[in-house]
Each structure stands twice: as structure tokens, then as C-alpha cells.
Structure 1
Amino acid sequence: MAEALVGGAFLSAFLQVFFDRMASREVLDFFRRRKLNPESLRKLRTTLLYINAVLNDAEEKQIKNPAVKKWVNELQDTAYQAQDLLDVITTDASRYKLETELEMCKSKVRSFNLTSLSSYNRRIEPKLEEILGRLESLAKERDILGLKEGGGEKPSRKWQTTSLVEESSVYGRDDDKFSIIKLLQANDGSGDNISVIPIVGMGGVGKTTLAQLVYNSELLMGLFDVKAWVCVSQEYDVLRITKSILQAVTPSTSDSDNLDLLQVGLKNSLIGRKFLIVLDDVWSDNYADWEAILIVLKSGAYGSRIIVTTRRRSVALTVRTGTVPTFHLMPLSDEDCWLLFAKVAFANIDTQEYPELELIGKKVVKKCNGLPLAAKTLGGLLRVKLDPKEWVKILESNIWNFSDSESGILPALRMSYYYLPSYLKPCFAYFSIFPKNFKFKKEQLVLLWMEEDFLLSTKTENLEEVGSGYFDELVSRSFLQQLGGRNIRYVMHDLLHDLAKYVSGEFCFRMEGNNSDGLSEKTRYFSYSRRKCDAYERFEALHKAKGLRTFLQSSNVLAAHGYLNNNVIPNLLPALRSLRVLSLFSYCNLTELPDMISTLKHLRYLDLSHTAI
């Protein structure tokens, strides 16, 4: 897989696919043969590159600046239009190349190449100029908005953790704490001086808190000669990690930035000493990064231990030693989540004095889905607010309506998204068109991503292999969880689904019932839950989404017999000329498709399985 910048903006990967297609020999040759203005193509690329340079800065600033958010949305909408136009040109170029290579009837080739030249150009060039005009206008606004090249704040600097913990505010982790302590006390049987215990779990589940509880446990008193806590975070800086450990294990401090001197000093300081080191929030699964620290720590005495907390299973596989298992931290029970929520929300007030609030509060807690971070955040929003209306408001609202100042969960979850490589961001956002708790098949998602142009091509892998790698990476980063059973399925946590919905904005829309509020002309990806009988009126609002790319039936439970009125598809398709994905899965009464299906130049994915066709 091609290495991509971690933390790249959502549109960066989208534009990379666009640039690759624009530079293809077929497109360039077609422009030359059709006598289309090559200057327009060059200006289009130059303008997009100029805008692309500030996308990281824009992605962050749009959170608090509505003007930047509007700019980003307009840019994405225009980029979609540009890609649609380029797809038409690419399709025509491929068709011309195929006809030529197969040496078909000369009249057909001549008809396509010469007779329709002027009319074809009259249709294409104005659209190209219109898109270019919009992009040039957006390029001017980039400077007015103060967007900077290479911008984008590094959230890791704001989220440094320490070893301190308030144990009275932790619930439901006693068993987990004792399990880790047993691993620290046990002999892993590897014969090495040190062993590594990886703690893996999704963002907000309490990995750092568990490590803090263990680090400060009285049960470990006297077991280790020295202890050190290092918050690693996104940037794996060997110099900083070395210096932090050295400062913890020796009374003398060093201002040197000479890595060799620091590592020799740390090695000498650890000889014959049994240590416990916590490396919190590790993201890098590069073995060379890990080895650069491990080579120094191996000088510690037998029985030394390292705890690594991470969201990525691949990190755990990189750092684990001997037979020590990876510890997978699970969400809290609703009961423990409620205790945590109540402690924050009620402060020192007895909950039994407010039975109505307790009833509402327990419903709020169910929204937390076992995430301590969510429970604390929502509890903080309701802290000592005794008006039931306030609680109902939170119960019925979406956490993404909270501002940064009101909710710590947004920065925490957004950090997970912000640090995704740019090529994974469109794939993650796409999950928002599926219902919550939907059970995903890996193969299905990979095919959909492929047809949506989310996958970056490489010289060594085909697109399905690339997509499989993307999916595995999202699993590794705890964005998806594998379910048990014979048929492998995956599910996304509700809060992460909310995050996907938040970042996808108005470009993704899922219809439940007949509610089409939120569907707009910018909507590109659409899904719906199938009912026993779906009439055309249910989908009529789709006519405003003329650039729609996906029409997908997706629900966890299918009706026993599904019917799609015969007038739905014939009435919709003329308005949805940009469709790439059309799923009519399991409509048992569907016996034929209208002839105009052949005019959908962009269509790549057509699912007619379990129909009467």
C-alpha cells in the first residue's frame, strides 16, 4: 500500500484518484484527438493543487468557523462535479480506444471521432469551464479565509496523559486491573529480561485509566525498582521517549538532544534494575521505531515489564513478547456506566431524591454504549442541572450538536478521525449510510469502495487487495469490531457511527421511514431501509440530488417479501444520471429493468441478487 500522510484531509485522497485519472494516457490522447482545449485540463489541475495545499488547515478550522465549513462543502461538491465530468470523458476515451483496437466498422469509428466532434465539444467544454470557474473562485477565497499551506493543529500536544488517577471515579475495572497485575507478576516463559503487555481498545474505552490504576496499585509496591510513564501519542519520537524515561529513572536530568548519549545513559541507568514502564497511546506499528527503544530497555533486570496502550491491534502484534497475550479492553456494563455518569452528573446529591432524573439518566447512559469517556462527558453536561427538561434535551439530541466547549467527547473521537490517513477517511465516512449495528461483510464494503473511487491504485496490488488492506486497517484501529460466528461479520460502535455521520455531512443521507429532511442537492450517497412495499412517492425527493452516486438498500432485517412499485426505477433513473452504485437486492417482484439503464455511463455496481430477474 502506498504510504500516505497520516492526518491528511478527507479530500486529499479523493483528489489523488482524480489526478491519476486526469493524467492517464487515454484521457490525454482523447483530449488531443477531440481537439479539446488542453489548457483547461492544465488549469484544472493547477487550481486543485493550489487548493489541496490548504486542506489540512481547512479540515480543522471548519469545526469552529462556519465560513470555512461552507468553503469545504462547496469545494467537495465542485470536486464531485469535476470527477463526474472526467468520468464521462474517460468512458468515451475507453470506448474510442476499444473500437479502434478491435478494428470495428470504419463508419462507426469515423462517426464517433469526426461527425460528432463539434457537438461533443460544445457539450463538454462549457461544463469544464464552469467547473474551472467555480474552483478559481474557491481558490481566491482560500486566501481571504486565511487558510495556510501545511496547516492543521497537532491535537496530540493537547492530550498528554500522566500516571495520576482518581480511583474513586473509576467503575467496573477491578477485574481488568487484577488481570493486568497478574500478568505483571507472572513469568512469561520467554527467557527475556523484559516482557510487554499490550492493552488494546477503541478510543474512549478507558485504556489509559486502566494503565493508571495498575501503575499506582499498592499490590505492585516493592515489585519494581523504578517506574516511568510516557505519553507517546501520534508522533513516535525516539528522542523524546528516551529522555522521558531517563528523567524518570535517574535523579540527574539532561538537556542534551544527542540521542546516542541519552540512550547510553539510559542503558547504564537500567542495568540490574527491574522496571515498569508505561508507553501510553502508541500508534506506530513500525518495528524499526519499536526496536530503537527496545534495544535500550533490554538492559533492565529480569522481570522488567512494559505496558503499551493502543487503539491498533497491529501495534500489539509488533510489541508483544513471548506468550504474554494481548489484553482487549471491553466497554463497561450499563450499570457501571450509570455509576460513573451519576457521580459526575449529581456531584454529592443523592440520586434517589430525584427519581425522574434517574429514570432519564439511565436512558442517557444507554447512549454511551459502555464508553466511560462518553458517560463522563454527558454527565458533565448535566452536572447539578435539576430541571428534567434539560435532561430530556440531552436524551433526544445528538452528541454532535454539542460545541467543543461543552463536550470533551468530540475532541477525543475527532482526534481518532483526524489522525486517520487521508485514504481511509472517505471509506470511514461511507459507513454513515448504513444503519447503526449493521453487520458488515468485508467483501461487500471493499467492492463498494472500489466502485466509489475511494481506493488508491498501486503497482503491486489490485484494487480489491488495496480495499482489503484498508478494511483491515480500520479493524486494527478499533473503528470496526469483528463478531463471532461461522460467517465473519463486523460492526461499528454507535458513537463511531455518529462520528462517521458527522464528518460525512450532507453528502451522505440515510432514509428511515419517509423522512427526507436533510436530503439536498449536494447528497451523493443514499441508502434506505426496505419496507414490505416501497412506492415511488417515498423516493420522490431524490430528484433534487441530481449528482447522486449511490442508491443502496441496506437494513439489518429484510421484510419477508419486498415489493418495489414498478414505476420507481423508471421514474428515478432519468434524474440520477451520475449513479455508480444501484442496489435492488431482494426485491422479489422485480422482473426487468428499463432500457435506459444502458445510458448510465457511471454505473459500475448493479446488485439484482434475490430478485425475479
Structure 2
Amino acid sequence: MAVEFVGGALLSAFLQVTFEKLSSAGIENYFQTRKLNDKLLKKLNITLLSINAVVDDAELKQLRNPNIRAWLDAVKDAVLDAEDFLDEIDIELSRCKLEAESQSSATTSKVWNFFNASSSSFDKEIESKMHEVLDNLEFLASKKDILGLKAVNSGFGVGSDSQIMLTKIPSTSLPVDSVIYGRDVDKEVIYDWLTSDAEDDNRQLSIVSIVGMGGMGKTTLAQHLYNDPKLEGKFDVKAWVCVSQEFDVFKVMRAILEGVTGSTDDCRDLNMVQERLMGKLTGKRFLLVLDDIWNEKHDQWEALQIPFNCGAHGSKVIVTTRSLKVASVTHSTRIHHLEELQEDHCWKLFSKHAFLDENPQINSDTKEIGKKILRKCQGLPLALKTIGSLLYTKPSLVEWESILASEIWELPEEESNIIPALMLSYHHLPSHLKRCFAYCALFPKNYVFEKEHLILLWMAENFLQCPRHSMGVEEVGELHFNDLFSRSFFQQSREYEMCLSCMIFSMIWQNMYPEIFASHSKMRNQIIY
């Protein structure tokens, strides 16, 4: 299943590359100078736009619907075919230019006339290929309504069934497990900050952001802090709000108000809820947890924060997020990064769910297989819990060996929430970052990237389009890399100080790309580096 998912997930990245090629001056000039039917170019662009409008919805729904998965694969193949003939045109134009430049100015026109005459067969071939690809894409585009695909907002499928598929159950302040594994130091550091009265800038409100990739245990850590008995009496008011992807200032503020009062509120506009919340927080020392924030818009955070400034000195806000940019937008006083669990803590967490015991009495064969499976999870608490719970239902050694031999991320959807948890981060990426990250999965599992080298490879693939003419390509690459790093798609490598490792996310796609791109010569060439 994971192989098919990857093929679909990359479609949005492929489409962006194709759009850029279609809009290039070279392609447009080719059709004009050769007097070809430029209406075909416009029809191709419109057809691709209609498909692109539903791609996010399709990429999410494919997990449950094999027909949509097959549709995505077919569209991907057609888009790659379009890329092929556009590349052929680029090559032809480059060859034409070189032929002309190699001649003296006196004979240039003769060479061009000869070349144009000899290239008529090439033009007919291109036009034929374009008709074929266009017919295929128009046929596929006509099926999107039958499949129930809908246009969604860019970046994430808001409002449709797509959102239901990947939206996790909202968190609450109560932890699922009474014990938190491997986070004692993290908990102590943040607890000291929560109870400290000495603020560097003497602000009434200070904010700590707990940052880490999906499934790293940010919410669990916040829950244990929120419910720590040692905090009893240190705050006048406490509230917990799960924010998640939809960041509506009015809804979030009303949820905070209801958390503070412990009752449902009937406010119907932002001003009313803002005044009520200010009334409840004024002069009081409060602790507020805003769990799972994705919003990176500064003005919306400023609007939400207005009532917080009425609290007493020592009021605290805990934010959990996957994005360093969110931590920056919220003006966090502290930023606390969560790293993967150490091996001994991994084993305890895994054993708790696989054997219902932290220190199980098991035979050496079972323990050896369990340790190997554990290493596949690479310190991700969500993976350890999910795989452990699955193995608890499979008591035989043969079944454990089968799990070990398979890709652990190819678990049936009803048995695993790992893929949705990580997919959520991927689908929230803008398209220009999707293709940069997807490219990283061409490398072997556990590959350690050197930032400068990776940026050069992105440059070679023409992934780095300059948003401003004043910026160099290397600067754009640096921005893209830092953006992916801030969103926890890269983790600092322990072994190599100056390198970063694309960790858990790459496990979804490890060793799959040769199969996906086996039929596409251009991508096969990309794999060989």
C-alpha cells in the first residue's frame, strides 16, 4: 500500500514542475515559431489545472479507495508523459541554438532554414504525442466527479471527507498513559520554567513552544505537565484547548473561555468573547495549553493573544507544534525541541504495549525480534505504541517475524495511525516544499544529508524558483531547507554535527522509489548519484 501512496503523493510535486515548463518562454516560442497549434498548449494547461484542483483531496482519499489510488497512478503516468515531450522540445531547441551559434553570421539564416525544414517530422511527432497525452488527461479529468473528488484549499483538504480521514481525535488534558517514558528531563526543564517567577524581560505572559515531528510525544508531555500535582495551587486558572489545523480566532478564543469557566458559552461575535475572556483572566495567574498549532499567521496570533495580556505576572502558555515558525510567530520565551527516545526507553514503551509489561519475561528469540522491530521505529513514541499494540494481538513468533520482514509502515489503516499522523505534516506543505522533500526519498534509508550538497541537487533539478529577482538560487535553497527543518522534516544528526538526517518521514517511503519510477527514464537517471 505504501508504494501506491507515494506515487500519488508525488503527483502534486510533478504537476508544479509541468506547469513551470508549460509557461516557459522556450515552449511558447517553439509553438509560435513552428506555427503549431498553440491551442493544444492552452488546453493542456487547463486540463492539468482541473486535475490539480482535486489532487489534495485525491491524495488523502486514496488510502481508503483503491479506485482513486489507481486514478492517481494513471494521472501520474500521463503527467510524466507530458513532461517527456516538453523535455524533448527543450532538447530540440537547445540543439537548434547550438547549431546556429556554431555557424558564422553569414550562414546562420541558411542553417536555420535547413534545420527548420529537417525538423518538420519532429514537429509532427510532438504534435501527435501532445494529442495523445491530452486525450488521456482529458479522459482522466472527466472521471474526477464520478470518483467524488472535490477542489480543496491549497495546502490541506479543508471541509471535505479528506479532512475527516486525517484529522485525529482532538486531544484533552487527560493523559492516556499514567507513565511517560524517556521524557523526565524534558518534563523537569519545562516544569522549572513554569514555576519560575524570574522572567528575563519581566513580561506578564511567557510562552514555551514544545516542537517536534508528528508522533514524537508533544501532547503527552504537555498533558503530564498540565496534570502534575506539584503545580496544584500555583495557578489561579488552567485551561486546555486542542487547536489543530483549523485556526479560527473566534472559535479558539471561545474554546479557551469555555475551558476557563468550565461551561458552554453563547458568545456570537469576537468582541463579546474577547471581553468575557479578558474579564475572567484579568489579575489572575493562569496556565493555558494550546495543543497542536499549525497556524503561522502573525496577525491571527496577535488577535488571539490580546486577552492573555490581562493576566497576572507569571502567567504561562504552553504551545505544542510541529513548526519552528509557529514558535517564532507566537513570540515564544522558550523553545523546547523533543528528540527521539533512547533505546532503553523505547524498549519500555514498546514492551508496555506489546506485552503489557515494562520488563516482560520472554524468551530470547522473541526479545531479539522485538529489539529489531523496535529499531525500525527509530525512537518515535507513536510508532512504538502502535506497533507494540499490533504485536500484542499476534502472539506467535512467526507473526512477529512477518512484521519484521515487512515494511512496518504498510500496516492496514484500521490498525495504524502512524501514516495519517505523518501524512498530515506532508500534506500541509506548500507545493514547492513537497517536491524538495519528496526528492529526498530517492536516497537510501537513514541517509545523512549535507545541507549544501542537497541544495546543489535541488538546483540541478530546477526545484528552486526565485520568488524575488534579488535572491540567488542558493538563497532560495537555503530558505527551502530551513523551512523543512523548522517543520521537523529533518532532524539534527547525532553522529555528524554539520549534517541533518531525514529521519522518520523517510521510513514511509524507504526503498520504494526505484519501483515507482522504473518506467520513467528521467527519474531513473535521478536515482543514480
TM-score, normalised to structure 2, is 0.89
Tell me if 1:552 matches 2:501: no
SS of aligned partner of 2:36: coil
Q: Which runs of 5+ in 1 are unaligned?
A: 1-7, 510-516, 526-547, 554-613
Bigger helix fraction: 2
Match of 2:338 among 329, 335, 338: 329
1:275 paired with 2:286, answer yes
Deviation of 1:281 (Å)? 1.2
- Code of the residue aligned with 1:129 in structure 2: it is H
- Indicate which of 482, 498, 503 corresponds to 1:472: 482
Q: Distance in 2 between matches of 1:85 and 1:429?
A: 23
Preserved CA contact (<8 Å) 1:197 1:320: no
Q: Which one is further off, 100-109 or 209-218?
A: 100-109
1:385 and 1:121 mapped to 2: Cα distance?
61
List runs of 5+ in structure 2 lacking aligned partners: 1-7, 153-159
The residue identity in structure 2 corresponding to 1:201 is G
**What pairs up with 1:28-427 in 2 under 5 angstroms?**
28-93=28-93, 99=100, 103=105, 105-113=108-116, 115-150=117-152, 153-154=162-163, 157-186=167-196, 187-251=198-262, 253-321=264-332, 324-347=333-356, 351-427=360-436
Answer with 181-190 or 451-460: which moved more.
451-460
Counterparts of 1:463 and 1:159, CA distance in 2: 41
User: Which residue identity does 1:288 align to in structure 2?
Assistant: D
SS in 2 for 1:370: coil
Residue 223 of structure 1 aligns to a residue in which SS? coil
Q: 1:298 to 1:62 in 2, by over 3 A?
A: same
2:452 counterpart (409, 427, 443) = 443
- How many angstroms apart in 1 are the aligned matches of 2:25 and 2:463? 21
- The one-letter code of the counterpart of 1:489 is C
Per the alignment, in what secondary structure is the counterpart of residue 550 of structure 1?
Answer: helix
Q: Judging changes above 3 Å, is the alpha-carbon distance between structure 1 residues 358 and 19 closer, same or farther for their aligned structure 2 residues? A: closer
Q: Distance in 2 between matches of 1:284 and 1:95?
A: 48
Aligned to 1:21: 21
Is the 1:456–1:463 contact (alpha carbons within 8 Å) kept by the matching residues of 2? yes
More relative contact order in 1 or in 2 (CA 8 Å, sep 6+)? 2
Give 1:520 shift: 3.1
Please point out which of 427, 433, 438 is paired with 1:429: 438
Q: CA deviation at 1:230?
A: 1.1
Given that residues 429 and 500 in structure 1 are in contact (C-alpha distance below 8 angstroms), is that contact kept between their aligned partners in structure 2?
Answer: no
Q: Give the 3 Å change call, closer, same or farther, for CA 349–173 of structure 1 in structure 2.
A: closer
| Amino acid in structure 1 at the alignment position of 2:57 | D
Shift in CA distance, 47/353, structure 1 to aligned 2, threshold 3 Å: closer
Residue 58 of structure 1: how far off its partner (Å): 1.2
SS state of the match for residue 159, structure 1?
coil
Cα distance change on mapping 1:454 and 1:14 into 2, 3 Å: farther
CA distance 1:132–1:416, change in 2 (3 Å): same
CA distance in 2, matches of 1:268, 1:457: 48
Partners of 2:47 and 2:204 in 1: CA distance: 57
Contact 1:169 1:340 in 2 (8 A): no
The AA in structure 2 aligned to 1:293 is L
Query: Contact (CA 8 Å) 2:351, 2:359: kept in 1 or not?
Result: no
Return 17-26 or 90-99, whichever deviates more. 90-99
Helix, strand or coil: the match of 1:338?
Answer: helix
Tell me if the contact between 1:10 and 1:422 (Cα under 8 Å) persists in the aligned partners: no
Per-residue deviation at 1:318?
2.7
Q: CA deviation at 1:173?
A: 1.9
Q: Distance in 1 between matches of 2:362 and 2:43?
A: 69
Cα distance between partner residues in 1 of 2:174 and 2:262: 20
Shift of 1:96: 5.3
2: CA distance, partners of 1:393 / 1:484:
31
CA offsets, 1:289-325, max 9 Å, x none? 221122220100010001111111222233244xx43
Contact 2:254 2:273 in 1 (8 A): yes
Check the 8 A contact 1:16/1:456 in 2, yes or no: no
Q: Write the deviation string for residues 45-78 of structure 1: whole angstroms up to 9, x where unpaired.
A: 2221222222122111211222221221121122
